[in-house]
Chain A
Amino acid sequence: MVPVDHYLWLSLALFTIGVIGVLTRRNVIIILMSIELILNAVNINLVAFSHMFGGVDGQVFAIFIITDAAAEAAVGLGIILAFFRNRETLLADEMDMLKW
């Protein structure tokens, strides 16, 4: 049997890679995909614990997270599209208008 904590290590690893991706990459699409990665890491965590405790609550939660990720990806991509039409750029460094 795989000990639960191994699932947690996996989740942690994916989470960290996702965070690195969000913080470090310039391309906004990569950033969005990194966010999906983070969400996935959480899902793994949830399902692992659900398996550990025997109920399906964790899985239901994970379903909702997936739902939410889908919604967010759709809207986010829509924003990227709109922004791209205006500024012709995909680099997060160049999207700095929301400041004083």
Chain B
Amino acid sequence: MGLNSILFYFFAALAVGSAILMVTRRNVVHGAVYLITTLLATAGVFLLLQAEFLFITQVILYVGGIMVLFVFVIMLVNLDVSLLQYQFNRQRFVGGVLALALAAQLFIVIKMGKTSLFPQARVPEVLPKNTEAVADALFGRFMLPFEIASILLLVAMIGAVVMAKRRV
């Protein structure tokens, strides 16, 4: 058991636990906070997988951007009455069952592929420079998707502005 494993299992448990909590909280703000912890745990997992750039991107963007946005909107629309309302809908049992069915399916797939598809990962002696590599790939091979993503962001920005305006 290396430090790697311990940290991984720690972060995994944290993530799953926070996720479960997030999905079950009545208070939305609590849910948001638990999501933050889940995301942070995920970021930790990234780091353990030697994806430093992604780790930092996750923290900055996801937690620092998206979740802040979520919290803003939660504050804007916070209804006290929602604390008193029932929080699970009519199809909770069916939904739960189906979700578990999906999970079971995927579980079977992973289980069955375990022996053949997953060679052991090699850990290189010297860690490659992750950010540079990502940059190389992003601005090299994946230039087009990069540009398209930027347009996507533009469109999303416009859309968000329009959506949230008080008077169109």
Interface residues of A (CB under 8 A from B): 1-10, 12-21, 23-27, 29-30, 32-34, 36-37, 40, 43-44, 47-48, 50-52, 54-57, 59-60, 62-64, 66-75, 77-82, 84-85, 90-93
Q: Is the CB of B85 within 8 A of A29?
A: no
B166 near A6: Cβ-Cβ < 8 Å: no
Query: Given contacts A12-B110, A20-B99, are A32 and B70 in contact (CB under 8 A)?
Result: yes
- Chain B residues bordering chain A, tally (CB within 8 A): 88
Residues in A with CB closer than 8 Å to B166 are: 85
Chain B binding surface, main DSSP class: helix
* B160 contacts A66, C-beta separation under 8 Å: no
Is the CB–CB distance between A74 and B57 below 8 Å?
no
Binding site for A on B (CB under 8 A): 2, 4-5, 8, 12, 15-16, 19-20, 22-23, 25, 28, 31-32, 35, 38-39, 42, 45-46, 48-51, 53-54, 57-58, 61-62, 65-66, 69-70, 73-74, 76-77, 79, 82, 85-92, 95-96, 98-100, 102-103, 106-107, 110, 114, 118-124, 130, 133-134, 136-138, 142, 145, 149, 152-153, 155-157, 159-164, 166
Which residues does chain B contribute within 8 Å of A64, judged by CB atoms?
A: 142, 145, 149
A1–B121 alpha-carbon span in the complex (Å) = 8
**A8 CA / B114 CA spacing, docked (Å):** 10
B136 vs chain A, min Cβ distance (A): 8
Shortest CB distance B112–A (Å)? 11
Expressed in whole angstroms, the Cα–Cα distance for A92 and B134 within the complex equals 40
Task: Pick from A3, A23, A29, A60: contact of B99, CB below 8 A.
Answer: A23
Q: Give bound CA distance, A77 to B160, whole Å.
A: 8
In the complex, what distance in Å separates the CA atom of A68 from the CA atom of B145? Answer: 11
Extra contacts, 17 of them, besides A63-B138, A77-B69 (Cβ < 8 A), are: A2-B8, A6-B12, A7-B49, A9-B110, A20-B96, A29-B31, A36-B62, A43-B58, A47-B46, A52-B118, A59-B51, A59-B54, A63-B54, A66-B58, A67-B153, A68-B152, A92-B89
